[in-house]
Every structure is written in C-alpha cells, then in structure tokens.
Amino acid sequence: MEDFDYIGTGGFILKCKDEEILGVTKEQADKLCTACMYFDACLHGGMNESTSRIITKVDWSLAIARHMIQLLVTTRTTLPSLKLYEEFMVQCDSLLLDARLCNFVNYMDTTISKETKFLELATNEDDTYFHFSLIGNVKCEQWLRLLDTEEILLNREHTNYVIQLRDPNREVEWTEDQIVSRRNLDSRISTYRVHAKRSLHALVSIQQHLLQDCTTTSSARSRGGMTYLRREEQYTIYFETAHPLSQVYHDLIDRLAGGQAYTRTCADAASFQTEGYTVQASPDVLRRMLTPLQSSDPSNNDDDIVCSLRVDHPSPDTIGRLINASLQDEIDDRYKGTIGLDVPLNRYFCRKPLQDTLAMLNYLVDFSTSARIKEPFTVYLLSSEDKVF
C-alpha cells in the first residue's frame, strides 16, 4: 500500500513493523536529511530508496517512527513511558544520533551523570530501589539536587521522558510553555515514589535538603549541606476526647507529667465539643498515661479519642523505629505506615486512634526493636498542626 501524494510532492513513505505506514512531507524530509546521515543517504545517496521514495524500517513500531520524525524535525520529543523511551534510545543509537534524556516531568537541563543515576534507579524491574512514597511540594532544583548529590530519585507515577537532540553549535532554549509548565509544577503538591539505595538515609537527606532551602540565615549552612543545631529529642502527644475526662484521670496526668509537662487546650477543642491535652514526656510515660484511658470506660469508642504523636529532633534510629512502629500488623489499615514530616520544625508526627497510638508506643518503649525499615511507607510533608493529616 502506497500513498503517492507524499511521494509525488517530494516527501517519502516510511514502512514500519506490521506493515504500518507513515507519510513524511517534503518539508519534514528536508529537515530529516539535514539532521540524520541515514535518511540523507537513503534519499540522496543513489540507493533504491532515493528512486522509490519508500524507506523500510521493520524494526520500528509506528510509535517509534512518529517520535523519531518529531525528534529530527523539531529536535525534541516526549515519550509517555519508560519502556518506549528505552526502545527509542536503542533506535537513536543505531542512527548515530546524539539524543539525550533532558527532561523528566518538566525538570530541565539534566547532566549525563544525572541521566545515568535516573535510569539506574528508575528502570529496576523488581523495585529494589523503591522504599516509600512522598506526598508534598518539591521544587525542581531540590529534585535535581537530590538526584545529583544524593542519588535519590523522586519519581512521579506518571512521568514524561523528554528527549533532546543535542546540537553542539546551539544552546537549547526553553519555550514559554516549558517555563510556565515548570513554574506550575514547582507550586504543586505531588505524589512521588522515592527510589534510593537506603530508605532511612533517603528520608533524612530529603528532609535536610528541604530544610536547607527553608533556612535563610548563612550561619545555619555548612559546606557539605545543612548543619543541624543539636537539640534534645522530645516526645509529645496531643489527644482529644469526645467525652470529658474524670477527675481521677486529670490527677493521673498531673502525676505522670510532673504537673508541668502538659498544657490543657480546651479552648482550641471547644468548637468540636471535646477536651484536648498536650503532654510532653518519655514514650513510657505517654504509654502509661494513655493505657488507663483506653480501659477506663468500656463503652468509649477508641475512634472517639484521636491522638497526635510527635517526635521533635529525632535521631535516625528513632525515625526508623517510629516508621516501623506505624507498620505493625495491629495498626488499622487506614493509618498503617503513614507518617507526617514538618520540615521546618524537624518534627515527625502521626495522627491515629488511641489503640493504634498505644501499639506504636509499645514498640517505641522497647529499645531493642529494629530501626531497619523493610516495608514501603508513606510520608506526608505537612505542618504538624494540619488537621487534614
């Protein structure tokens, strides 16, 4: 089957796999010959194709052919999947084209080293390098810095792979649409799959890079990145009850917290017709404080008592054990493996029903429990005061 309109007007026909055909106009053909020696040789080198104006590429799918024409005509093409990208790059190599991955999800101007790290982490078939999901706002400079300096990839589930045909004599300039697209992306909350070689290292590194951009004072910076002011690890629990607490329980809070370590926040909770309390103490004290509340009134529904467990300035060991505590089998599936991170405060937190919070505290009280994270989890970049979490 031939389309003589393309041939008759100076273009050519490209025959692909499964007898599929793509017509190329004269204007496109001229640009193809300028950009690629293979097409120039076929159409102007005295070969059969220069007479028939039919070029056969049975190893090309129609999708590969369309993207190849677009790349050679416009110097750029966008591929919708990693599988198609890999197939496409093989064909670019066969044509001796200097085609580079220059843009992932509108993050621009990556170097060869970034490209290599990106592919190493993203193409692993058994997801060896996937450790957790991250939900939040990460700007492109932060994204590229994590990939380049830490070998941590924040990969969106739906990613476009943009291929740029490199011209050593011309610098690639952004179009207005690309600039707007990147700006919009930088202001958006996204869900990322975090690929790295070590999960806990990746989480701490992400926090440090985001905190570095939150900090404006030069005294808080160092050559190697962020210099933390070492502060003591603090555990705090804020809980709200749907029913007023008895005086006996008030007295218990006073005794366990030393009469000083909690602040009653009934004013904040009044609009919800609850009583709210904040207690700062060790995990063991927090556990002993909540245990009688769970068993004091069998008619109480645990879901009526919402707890926010917070850890300020945790060590990496504590972060790992906190995440593992949230991954326990007894945790409700609705809340399992979910942790919040308030970056500017260096605070990890989670909001869960009373029963789940007690299960986590039991894990944290036992310092022999593991900090090695083996299951995927989810981190939300939020303020610890955000009621949505």
CA dihedral over 146, 152, 154, 160, signed as positive or negative: positive
Q: What is the largest CA-CA distance in the chain?
A: 99
Per DSSP, what are the bridge partners of residue 55?
Answer: 14
Give me the percent of the chain exceeding a pLDDT of 70. Answer: 78
Closest by Cα among 318, 311, 243, 325 to 280: 311
Q: What is the pLDDT of residue 107?
A: 57
Q: Which residue has the tokens 């009688």?
A: 292
The per-residue pLDDT for range 202-240, each reduced to its tens digit, is 999 999 999 887 764 334 444 444 444 457 899 988 877
Q: What is the pLDDT of residue 97?
A: 92
Using only C-alpha atoms, the chain has a radius of gyration, in whole angstroms, of 29
Closest by Cα among 57, 22, 21, 20 to 39: 57
The per-residue pLDDT for range 147-162, each reduced to its tens digit, is 888 999 998 877 778 8
How many other C-beta atoms lie within 10 A of the C-beta of residue 226? 17
Digits of tens for pLDDT over the chain (389 positions)? 444 578 878 899 999 999 899 999 999 999 999 999 999 999 998 888 888 999 999 999 999 999 999 999 998 898 888 889 889 999 999 999 988 887 555 455 555 566 778 878 877 667 889 999 999 999 888 888 898 889 999 988 777 788 888 766 666 566 677 677 777 778 888 899 999 999 999 999 999 999 887 764 334 444 444 444 457 899 988 877 766 667 777 777 777 666 544 444 444 444 444 567 778 888 998 898 888 777 655 444 545 677 889 999 999 999 999 999 999 999 999 889 999 999 999 999 998 888 999 999 999 999 899 999 989 999 999 987 776 56
Q: What does the alpha-carbon distance between residue 123 and residue 108 come to, in Å, rounded to a whole number?
A: 20
List the structure tokens of 327: 């991954």
Query: Which residues, in sequence order, are CB contacts of 142 under 8 Å at separation 6+?
Result: 209, 210, 213
**Rounded to whole angstroms, what are the CA distances from 176 to 94, 162, 173, 181, 308?**
33, 16, 10, 9, 45
pTM for this one?
0.76
